[in-house]
Structure 1
Amino acid sequence: MTDDSRVLYLLACAAPPAQHLPTGITLAQQAGWDVCLVLSPSAYSWQTTEQLGELEELTGHPVRYTYKRPEAEDVLPAADAMLVAPATFNSINKWAAGISDTLLLGLVTEAIGLQLPVVALPYLNAAQAAHPALDTSVAFLRAAGVSVLLGSGGFTPHVPKHGDTEHYPWAAAIDALPRRAQPNGIRRVTPLNS
């Protein structure tokens, strides 16, 4: 990895597209990103030992899902940008409320204050999308600088129990990421240790 490489944290919540992470990882790598994978605890529990090994081999980095001990060294390089995909109804609302009870949420809540480029690609059904908390949370995150790809050009909520992971718009999320890393103009974040 060179000094000008771009590091992307792909943060995946527990939704069906999390079973297709190699698609998103590969598209990001093709766009020039060095991808590090951080999973929610539930998304991590969905992966078999074999799948985790394959994801680590694909990214070249350990898969993180929990906070490290304070004295432990960082195992991932600092992030230049973050992509939360899939972003669940639960995580979007907790993120907007400033709740950081998982490593994934800790990283994205801190990223706002660090002015790090963050894109969120939701995956949720129309019943969840109709809940009034979602509009409030999405508006809050967008006002804080997060690119939430919900609706036209991003993810359109589906009828409950009729999701289509085959057409999850990974490419739209990758396209929404910044074209160049700006390590001198944007602070970089390393995985939290508390």
Structure 2
Amino acid sequence: MSDRVLYVLVCGSPIARDVGILVDLAQRDGWEVCVITTPDGRKFVDTDALRAQTGHHVRSYYKNPGDEDLLPPADAMIVAPATVNTVNKWAAGITDTLVLGLLVEAYGFSTPTVVVPYTNRVMATHPTLHDSMAKIRSWGVQVLYGDDVMRLGGPGQNDKFRSQFPWRRALQAVNAQVAADNRVEPGARS
């Protein structure tokens, strides 16, 4: 196992079916990967395949009080794909899913975090989404969003852009954040 742990946080989007691509890329870069999904995100992933790929259970729910942690602590996080719902709740500090609880804690731990918001172009016009992304950016989270990152389709049409999802770019961004943090604080673990 690697000494660097990456949490891949997955939301309820059909793009989530391809999260194994990110897991593979991260493992090639030397990360130990843990996948955590929102309850709706879990509907789109193959938990058995991801468990076999990562060696960890795919978590979706808070553990019971007193239960042992099943996953090692995160050194970095990537939220991909991130739905409008998750981005807006995160910006508001809402922790009604395990993914959101981890993201809120990540701020307190100064955990390097990259988010790839993904929705259809109609939902993407809502001003609250843009306000939420600006707020999250102000916390030092790298937000990968816009036509230069990935085009959005209309409602029900995002599958035509599925092969363009920026899994590699998200990983490169988190690797750069971790490298920058290590230059600032040698040997520090977030």
TM over 0.5: yes
Larger RCO (CA under 8 A, 6+ residues apart): 1
Output the aligned Cα RMSD.
1.7
Q: Is the 8 A contact 2:14 2:44 kept in 1?
A: no
- The reply to whether residue 78 of structure 1 matches residue 88 of structure 2 is no
Alpha-carbon displacement from aligned partner over 1:104-161 (angstroms, at most 9, x marks no partner) = 0000111112111000011111111110101100000000111110015523332222
Distance 2:43 2:157 in 1: 23
Q: Is the 8 A contact 1:154 1:173 kept in 2?
A: no
Deviates more, 1:92-101 or 1:19-28: 19-28
- The reply to whether residue 112 of structure 1 matches residue 110 of structure 2 is no
Q: Is the 8 A contact 2:150 2:164 kept in 1?
A: no
Deviation at 1:72, TM superposition (A): 0.7
Distance 1:46 1:84 in 2: 15
The residue that corresponds to 1:161 in the other structure is 156
Gaps of 5+ in 1: 188-194
Output the amino acid matched with 1:73.
E
- The reply to whether residue 123 of structure 1 matches residue 121 of structure 2 is no
Q: Is the 8 A contact 2:9 2:35 kept in 1?
A: yes
Alpha-carbon displacement from aligned partner over 1:54-79 (angstroms, at most 9, x marks no partner) = 11010011110000011111111110
What pairs up with 1:43-192 in 2 under 5 angstroms? 43-47=41-45, 51-151=46-146, 153-163=148-158, 164-179=161-176, 180=178, 182=182, 184-187=187-190
Distance 2:96 2:150 in 1: 26
Deviation at 1:45, TM superposition (A): 3.0
The residue that corresponds to 1:190 in the other structure is none
Gaps of 5+ in 2: none
Output the amino acid matched with 2:22.
G
Output the amino acid matched with 2:165.
Y
Distance 1:60 1:27 in 2: 15
Higher helix share goes to which structure? 2
**Paired residues, what number?**
182
Distance 1:125 1:119 in 2: 20
Q: Is the 8 A contact 1:122 1:155 kept in 2?
A: no
Q: TM-score, normalised by structure 2?
A: 0.89
Deviation at 1:184, TM superposition (A): 4.3
Secondary structure, counterpart of 1:35 in structure 2:
strand
